[in-house]
Amino acid sequence: MFKHILLPSDGSELSNAAIREGIRFAKSVGAKVTGLCVMPQQHPFFYETEIPVSALQEAAKRYKELADSYLAVIAAAAKEAGVACDGVYEVHDCPHEAIIRVAEQKGCDLIMMASHGRRGVKALLIGSETQKVLTHSKVPVLVYR
């Protein structure tokens, strides 16, 4: 059935629940998992005001530390379950594009991710990353709710 499952994380409680279920599912079918955390790219200009390089570097460092903590949750849960796991940290302004690209690059045959909670007008105007992955991915997507 499935041999390699991508588990994206944004560190939210719902995302962590999806990861736990994804690892449980991976164990049941004998699959390995790849954890993924996507953080936004740092841009040197914002509203025509230059951001100091030191501030960009500090923000990038904080994002990397945060991503490492999210990936550590995935790695620990996989280790406890006896599931093979690797982690990927990506910097990209469009998380859904990074999720799809990593799934394809790593040869994942399933993406399992949480349904995220934008509701009402915000959901209509912006749309969730999960919805964007569902819309654009050629790799099957299992949404945990």
- pLDDT at site 125: 46
For the segment 23-33, what is each residue's pLDDT rounded down to a tens digit? Answer: 999 999 999 99
Instruction: Tell me which residue range forms the domain holding 36.
Output: 4-144
pLDDT digits (tens, 9 = 90+) for 2-15: 999 999 999 999 99
Confidence category of residue 16, pLDDT binned at 50, 70, 90: very high
Dihedral sign, CA of 24, 25, 31, 36?
Answer: negative
In a 10 Å sphere around its CB, with 0-12 CB exposed, 13-18 middle and 19+ buried, how is residue 6 labelled? buried
Q: Is 117 a residue whose pLDDT tops 80?
A: no
User: Is the distance from CB of 93 to CB of 73 less than 8 angstroms?
Assistant: no
pLDDT over 70 (residue 49): no
- What's the domain count of the chain? 1
Q: Please, what is the average pLDDT of the chain?
A: 90
For the chain, what is the HEC assignment? CCCEEEEECCCCHHHHHHHHHHHHHHHHHCCEEEEEEEECCCCCEECCEECCHHHHHHHHHHHHHHHHHHHHHHHHHHHHHCCCEEEEEEECCCHHHHHHHHHHHHCCCEEEEECCCCCHHHHHHCCCHHHHHHHHCCCCEEEEC
CA 102 to chain centre: 10
Q: What is this structure's pTM?
A: 0.89
pLDDT digits (tens, 9 = 90+) for 63-99: 999 999 999 999 999 999 999 999 999 999 999 999 9
Question: What's the CATH code of the domain at 136?
Answer: 3.40.50.620
Percent of the chain with pLDDT over 70: 88
